[in-house]
Amino acid sequence: MTDERLHEFYEELVRGLRDRGVLCGITSGLACVHFQVAETTKDCDLLCHDSDFSTLLQILGDTVLDGQPCRYRGHLTPPLDAQWHRGGWTSHFRWGNGPEAVTLDVFGRALRGSSRWEHELSGIYVSPHVVSEMKRTSRDKDWPFITGLGELLLESGDPRGWLHLYDLDTLRRILRRQQPPPELVERRPLLQLALRNDGLLEAALLAERQLWSQLDRLRIELYRRALKPYNLAVIGARIPVETPLADQHQARLACARTSLRPAPLLDYGVERLLAESRAATEQNVRPEAMAWLPDIRANFNYLKP
Type of residue found at 152: L
In terms of C-beta density within 10 A (0-12 exposed, 13-18 middle, 19 or more buried), how is residue 60 classed? buried
Asked whether 289 and 189 are in contact (CB, 8 A), the reply is: no
Q: Which residue did the predictor score with more confidence, 241 or 205?
A: 205
* Largest separation between any pair of C-alpha atoms in the chain: 62
| Predicted pLDDT of residue 100 | 86
What average pLDDT does this structure show over 88-111?
95
Mean predicted lDDT score pLDDT of the chain: 96
Task: Encode 208-226: b = buried (16+ Cβ within 10 Å), e = exposed.
Answer: bbbbbbbbbebbeebbeeb
State in Å, rounded, how far the first CA of the chain is from the last one: 39
Question: How many angstroms separate the CA atoms of 224 and 220, rounded?
Answer: 6
What average pLDDT does this structure show over 238-243? 92
Give the confidence band of 59 by pLDDT, cuts at 50, 70, 90. Answer: very high
Q: C-alpha dihedral over 176, 177, 183, 186, to 10 degrees?
A: -10
Q: How do residues 260-287 score in pLDDT, each as one tens digit? A: 999 999 999 999 999 999 999 999 999 9
| Domains, the chain, ordered by start | 3-118 (3.30.460)
Long-range contacts of 167-176 (CB under 8 A, 24+ apart): 168/201, 168/202, 168/205, 171/201, 171/205, 172/197
The model's confidence at residue 39, banded by pLDDT at 50, 70 and 90, is: confident
Measured CA distances, 254 to 216, 224, 234 (Å): 29, 19, 9
Q: pLDDT tens digit string along 167-188?
A: 999 999 999 999 999 999 999 9
pLDDT band at 3 (very low <50, low <70, confident <90, very high): confident
> What tens digit of pLDDT does each residue of 212-226 get?
999 999 999 999 999
Burial class (CB in 10 A: 0-12, 13-18, 19+), 26: buried
Determine the average pLDDT of the residues in 88-103: 93
